[in-house]
Amino acid sequence: MSQTLRINGDNIRLAIFAIICGVLALSLGDAMIKQFSGEFALWQIFVLRSLISVPVLIIIIKTRRGFVSLLPVHMGWTLLRSLMLTFQWVAYYIALPHVELSIAAAGFYTLPLFIALFAALFVGEKVGVRGWIAVFLGFGGVLLVLRPRADDFNAYALLPLVAAVLYAAAMVLTRTKCRGEIPLVLSFSLNLTMFVIGLMATALIWLWAPSDNFIETYRYLLGNWSFMGIQEWMMMGGLAIAIIIGSIAAAIAYQAGPSSVVAPYDFFYVGFATVWGILFFDEIPDAITATGMGLIVAAGVLSVKRKT
């Protein structure tokens, strides 16, 4: 099997470069999702994006030198990882039409706290005093960003936290159970899983036939598929490129470097998302929100910093 496709041992520079490229691509893709969330149903995006990305990944894998199977070595762990990441994006994408991109990103990037927790529970790493301080810092940051109040609390703002839990668990799996898998195959498995889940959800909605009022209330989740013209297909092509780059880069990063090294650079997503929010949606964070985001970033860096 071609060794150029498999990550062997740690390569910190590769891991850092990969995660920065990955979050750049994913943050831009998520901004596009938010931009067009009023025009497309979530499951249409899942199916059509994967309809482009899956064949592209097959061509890339099969045109590389040496025989490479599309099947992962550890089928069960890879499938679990793909399902976690699929439903991570479901939770995050459902939130995007209802909360600002920068706030969604801030909620999502509590994930280093969960990475530290899961590493302690399932890998045996000690959290320590520094880790618990990070937990409280991060929680305080989330409260500042979301500022939940009984009269106007937006439950959709909790979905990025759910997404963070799923992503953190998936990255721990990437490092522990899927480290020997080829990143291209992991990306193929993820995109194929999203394609199947999208088709299943579309079929269930068709069989359920919810009322028009219910569809109008949850249009992004239950709405009918929209017409696809040249511009729409170009947008789907852009989303496919973003998910291919992002999924391959994330797999490479967490295979090539320890989570404690990679996760702080995952925070580049927050900065990229803030920039896209300003450029595309005129979402300028206020002072309290910026302070909360800063606390979350500080907590994440503290929680995954290596012991010296």
Q: What is the mean pLDDT of residues 268-277?
A: 81
For the chain, report the end-to-end CA distance as a whole number of angstroms.
38
pLDDT of 82 higher than 90 = yes
- pLDDT reported for residue 296: 77
Q: In the chain, what percentage of residues exceed pLDDT 70?
A: 88
Alpha helices in the chain (DSSP H): 12-36, 42-63, 75-95, 101-108, 111-118, 128-146, 159-176, 183-208, 212-217, 219-222, 230-256, 259-266, 268-281, 287-304
* pLDDT at residue 221, as a whole number: 81
pLDDT in tens, 92-142: 888 877 887 777 877 887 777 787 778 777 777 666 677 677 767 777 877
Instruction: Place 252 in a pLDDT band, splitting at 50, 70 and 90.
Output: very high
Q: Is the model's pLDDT at 143 over the cut of 70?
A: yes
For residues 194 and 212, give the distance between their C-alpha atoms in angstroms, rounded to a whole number. 26
Instruction: Say if residue 74's pLDDT is above 90.
Output: yes
Pick the more confident residue, 152 or 68. Answer: 68
Question: Can you give the pLDDT at residue 50?
Answer: 96
Angle at 21 between CA 302 and CA 186, to 5 degrees: 95
C-alpha span between 4 and 229 (Å, rounded): 38
Question: For residue 223, what pLDDT is reported?
Answer: 82
Token pair of 139 as six digits = 């929680």
- Name which residue leads in pLDDT, 137 or 235: 235
Name the DSSP letter for residue 158. G
- Confidence (pTM): 0.82
